[in-house]
Amino acid sequence: MKKEVKKQKNDQPESPRRKFLSKLWVALGMLALLELVGLVLTYLRPGKPRGVGNAGTIVEAGAVEKFPTNSVTAFVRGKFYLCRLEDGGFLAVSRKCTHLGCTVPWMAKEKKFACPCHGSAFDIHGEVTSPPAPRALDIYPVVVENNIVKVNTGRPIKRSEFRAEQVVYPT
């Protein structure tokens, strides 16, 4: 028994290479279709409302006495810096530059936050001292309860500039 070879329109047998390439194109087309369906379903699926994942995330920074005046303490877990100002007040400043979102380290010698990406600089209050950052660093609500400093990292507050009422003082 001889296998019958499928004939093309011009009565020539279809080559094994052509069969392989045809099957490959079909498989790749199906794969692309599956990816497209996955993208569409991901787009249409309802996501978490903004801030729900971090809502109510309270970081206990520590006792008031732990923070000397005119100091900046980094909190990796909460992604913020706790600034103890010269007058004894507290300000929780975001680590993200308001220009493009790079992490801004505190430069203790220069007493400023300096963005390594595009050169923006901020003072201890998070106020822009050197552009291109368009506004001050975001802050987080600070509460001092029973001499313990607590920061709510679930609600960043966007601001255009530093204002004295943003500072929280221990009672």
In sequence order, the 6+-apart residues with CB closer than 8 A to the CB of 167 are 85, 87, 89, 90, 91
Owning domain of residue 162? 58-166
13/110: higher pLDDT: 110
Confirm whether 6 is domain-assigned: no
Confirm whether 53 is domain-assigned: no
Confidence of residue 165 (pLDDT cuts 50, 70, 90): very high
Tens-place pLDDT, residues 87-146? 999 999 999 999 988 999 999 999 999 999 989 999 999 999 999 999 999 999 999 999
Tens-place pLDDT, residues 42-73? 888 876 555 444 445 889 999 999 999 999 99
The domain tally of the chain equals 2
State the pLDDT at residue 8.
53
Q: Do residues 100 and 20 both lie within one domain?
A: no
Beta strand residue intervals within 18-166, DSSP E: 58-63, 71-75, 80-84, 90-94, 106-107, 112-114, 121-122, 128-130, 139-140, 142-145, 148-152
